[in-house]
Amino acid sequence: SSHGGGGGGGSPPPPFDFRVKGVTSMSCDTHKYGFAPKGSSVIMYRNKNIRHHQYFVASDWPGGIYATPALAGSRPGALIAGTWAVMMHMGKSGYLHSAKEIMRTATLITSGVKKMDGVKLMGSPDAFVVCVGAENPETLNIFNVGDAMSERGWRLSLLQFPPCMHFCTTYLAASQDAGPRFLADLKASIHTVQTAPKGRFKDSKGAIYGMAASIPDRSMVDSMALTYIDAQYYA
């Protein structure tokens, strides 16, 4: 089976829903581009037989027959009410306006990245996530570019295999017409990395990602990630 997920909308996307053979479930995270409280989401199945696999039933529990639609037995009503309130406030017209502005900004950024020296567009985005990699990873560390963008107030997600970074175009960025500023800051960040003295980014996220990507035994990276989470419990 396969799963299709969506967090927003805009111009007509390529087919991804139940019209596509093999798609058995779809989710829509209302807490993302639906602007609802964190933790709310919707999942749909091709038929009820598939939906039954998400249920949990304990018919021999001494406390009685226990059945719940998911592993989480309790769900916060305030979260559901908050999601409903936001969706009623936005309405169809509000979401359409948001999607159009987001796609306008994402398209502008995509076009600008294609023309920019030193970097390249990874893939051909149909939606609002713009992924950027280095034209020549040997001469430009894209992770360091991401750190330089962070210094300018942007928060990009660093990716691996291959090394690259992506930017999720949000309504906040679109409403502030941030596309031209993003491109200007990206160009400046590339220049910063290309002209940086040795050791300038040695303590950055880029250094961590670069080291992790170079370790052939991925179980070591898993152990490092577990240690990092453990440390948060003791902070």
H or E element: which one contains 233? helix 218-234
d(CA 171, CA 69): 33
| pLDDT attached to residue 5 | 52
User: Which residue, among 78, 12, 18, has the nearest Cα to 43 in the 3D structure?
Assistant: 18
| pLDDT attached to residue 113 | 98
pLDDT in tens, the chain (235 residues): 444 455 544 456 788 899 999 999 999 999 999 999 998 999 999 999 999 999 999 999 999 999 999 877 788 899 999 999 999 999 999 999 999 999 999 999 999 999 999 999 999 888 899 999 999 999 999 999 999 999 999 999 999 989 999 999 999 999 999 999 999 999 999 999 999 998 888 777 766 777 777 788 889 889 988 998 999 998 6
| pLDDT attached to residue 209 | 75
**Contact criterion met (CB below 8 Å) for 136 and 145:** no
Residue with tokens 């290309």: 194
Reading the block at residue 145, the tokens are 């570019």
Beta bridge pairs of residue 58? 66
Q: CA-CA distances (angstroms) from residue 15 to 126, 127, 193?
A: 11, 13, 39
What φ, ψ does residue 187 adopt, rounded to 5°? -60, -45
| pLDDT attached to residue 81 | 96
- Whether the upstream peptide bond of residue 162 has omega within 30° of 0, thus cis, is yes
What's this model's pTM, rounded to 2 decimal places?
Answer: 0.83
Q: Which residues contact 7 (CB under 8 A, 6 or more apart)?
A: 28, 29, 32, 33, 34
Beta bridge pairs of residue 131? 166
d(CA 181, CA 9): 23
Helical segments of 30-178, H only:
48-51, 77-115, 142-151, 171-175
Radius of gyration of the chain (CA): 22
| pLDDT attached to residue 1 | 41
- CB-hemisphere CA count at 13 Å for 195? 6
